[in-house]
Amino acid sequence: MRVLLISHTCQSRTEGQPKAALLAQRPGIELKVLVPDRWMHYGNWRRAEMPANGEFDCTIGRVLMPWAGRKIGFYMHWYPGLPKLLREFKPDIIDLWEEPWAQVSVQACRLRNRLLPGTKIVSETEQNINKRLPPPFEQYRKFTLQQADYVVGRNQSAVEIVRSKGYSGPAEVVPNAVDAELFHPMDRAVCRASLRLSGFVAGYVGRLVEEKGLMEMVDALPLCPSHVHLLFVGSGPYQAELEQRARSMGRESQVTFLPNRPLEELPVVMNAIDVLVLPSRTTAGWKEQFGRVLIEANACQTPVIGSSSGAIPEVVGMAGIVVPERNPKALADALRDLELDPERCARMGLIGRQQVEHLYTWGRVAERMSHVYEHLHNKH
């Protein structure tokens, strides 16, 4: 069966292409991936990368309206070359790894109806807040869901939301994934020494922004033993406020900031820390949709502490502790519990690795997506 995967995430060799490469290896699948030639990625323009070893057929398409300002973002983008690609490739399935309210989803559905009415549509979504979108996006979502033959949600709430919007067809959760060969257990003492870390280290990796709840980590420090340290790896506008809070409490010696690191260097970080913390805060317009750093830490047999925001409890499972949002005391209690019980830390780390191998490897995700395709193809 011929599958066209439309995905801006597959611009990146590390973010989306591992799934595409493994999908292309699945028996019976002829895969073509369409990615935009340019993309606004967290405030910076990013150019598409071709697969390193030609693992799959990748088309870099000229994209129009890849960025429409802060309020609209990238949801108006579309491909002028998509009609020609559909006529030539004639896919049996179009997998839209884009939100259903994105204009490209509407474009693909309309072209399917006109050019390839027998082709099936898969719509993927991460949205886990049930809200009415401003025009024209609520109308776009309604249209895409009416056309979709299968919906894949990144979390359970995402599936429940498309149901609430009127979608009644088949749907399931297929999560994010981690490279479990890159992220693996390493010699922790060596990793700690390379980063000059000591004591019991609670780490965070990602953007330094307020909605990630990072102030809760700093505010928890006075409630923890003095040998508990925080490590923040990343960059963002919130760093100055975190530094100021630590200074005001006389705790700056317990807080370390390191700049962004490429993905291939993050396994050392995940092995150097004692626990990974993701204390995200739910806001009116956002809550955690997955939390990939959780499974990156778990793949290294590092336990995690996550807040109750969004999909975090789903992902943490038995591999860590879930604490209420915006609650430094609960976070401090969890840190103390793990610091005092290294056996529990090790046990949670082992469970985390097992959860990754069972649910969150790129191979597992590709396998589940191939079953979605087979289900639709068998209905032809």
Residues 168 and 266 in one domain: no
What is the Cα–Cα distance from 302 to 282, expressed in whole angstroms?
25
**Residues 155 and 203 both lie in one domain:** no
**What is the reported pLDDT for 283?**
93
Residues near 308 by beta carbon (within 8 Å), at least 6 away in sequence: 322, 323, 324, 325
Q: What is the pLDDT of residue 70?
A: 84
- Which domain does 9 fall in, by range? 2-177+361-377
Chunked into runs of 10 residues, the chain (380 residues) has average pLDDT values of 98 95 96 97 93 93 94 94 98 98 98 98 97 96 98 97 97 97 98 97 97 98 96 97 97 97 97 98 94 98 98 98 98 97 97 98 98 91
Q: Name 278's bridge partners.
A: 306
User: What pLDDT shows up at residue 43?
Assistant: 87
Task: Please name the residues in contact with 164: beta carbons below 8 A apart, sequence gap of 6 or more.
Answer: 130
Start-end of H helices in the chain: 17-25, 82-89, 103-115, 137-147, 156-164, 188-195, 214-220, 239-248, 266-272, 292-299, 312-316, 328-340, 342-355, 362-377
pLDDT digits (tens, 9 = 90+) for 293-350: 999 999 999 999 999 999 999 999 999 999 999 999 999 999 999 999 999 999 999 9
Residue 225 lies in a domain: yes
Rounded Cα distance between 291 and 306, Å, is: 9
Residue 8 CB neighbour total at 10 angstroms: 25
18 and 158 part of one domain: yes
Residues 291 and 367 in one domain: no
Residue 204 near residue 241, CB atoms below 8 Å: no
- pTM here is 0.95
Q: Are residues 220 and 332 in the same domain?
A: yes
Peptide linkage before 136 cis (omega within 30 of 0): yes
CA–CA separation, 217 and 214 (whole Å): 5
What pLDDT score was predicted for residue 6?
Answer: 98
pLDDT digits (tens, 9 = 90+) for 210-247: 999 999 999 999 999 999 999 999 999 999 999 999 99
Contact 271, 303 (CB under 8 A): no
How many structural domains comprise the chain? 2
**283 located within any domain:** yes
Residues 172 and 213 in one domain: no
Nearest to 38 by CA among 69, 74, 70, 72: 74
Asked if 268 and 244 count as a contact pair (C-beta separation under 8 A), the reply is no
Examine residue 341 and state whether it is found in any structural domain, yes or no.
yes
Q: Is residue 183 part of a domain?
A: no
Which residues contact residue 352 at a Cβ distance below 8 angstroms, ignoring those fewer than 6 apart?
295, 297, 298, 299, 301, 302, 303, 304, 319, 320
Q: What whole-number distance in Å separates Cα of residue 276 and Cα of residue 71?
A: 32
Same domain, yes or no: 372 and 329: no
Residue 372 within any structural domain of the chain: yes
Contact between 133 and 103 under an 8 Å Cβ cutoff? The reply is no
Within 10 angstroms of residue 191's Cβ, the number of other Cβ atoms is 18
Considering the domain boundaries, does residue 369 fall inside one?
yes
DSSP secondary structure of 119-138: -EEEEEE---S--PPPTTHH
Residues 268 and 367 in one domain: no
Q: What is the CATH number of the domain that holds 279?
A: 3.40.50.2000
Rounded CA gap, 348 and 317, in Å? 10
**220 and 164 in a common domain:** no
Backbone angles phi, psi at 71, to 5 degrees: -70, -35
**Same domain for 336 and 212?**
yes
Q: Is the dihedral of CA 63, 56, 42, 121 positive or negative?
A: positive
Query: pLDDT value at position 282?
Result: 96
**Residue 353 · residue 103 · CB < 8 Å:** no
Closest CA to 31 of 113, 91, 86, 72: 91
C-alpha dihedral (203, 205, 208, 213), degrees to nearest 10: -60
For strands 44-47 and 38-41, give the pairing.
antiparallel
Nearest to 278 by CA among 222, 334, 360, 354: 334
Identify whether 182 is part of a domain: no
Same domain flag for 354 and 371: no
pLDDT at residue 71, as a whole number: 84
Residue 220 inside a domain? The answer is yes
If asked whether residues 6 and 129 sit together in one domain, one would say yes
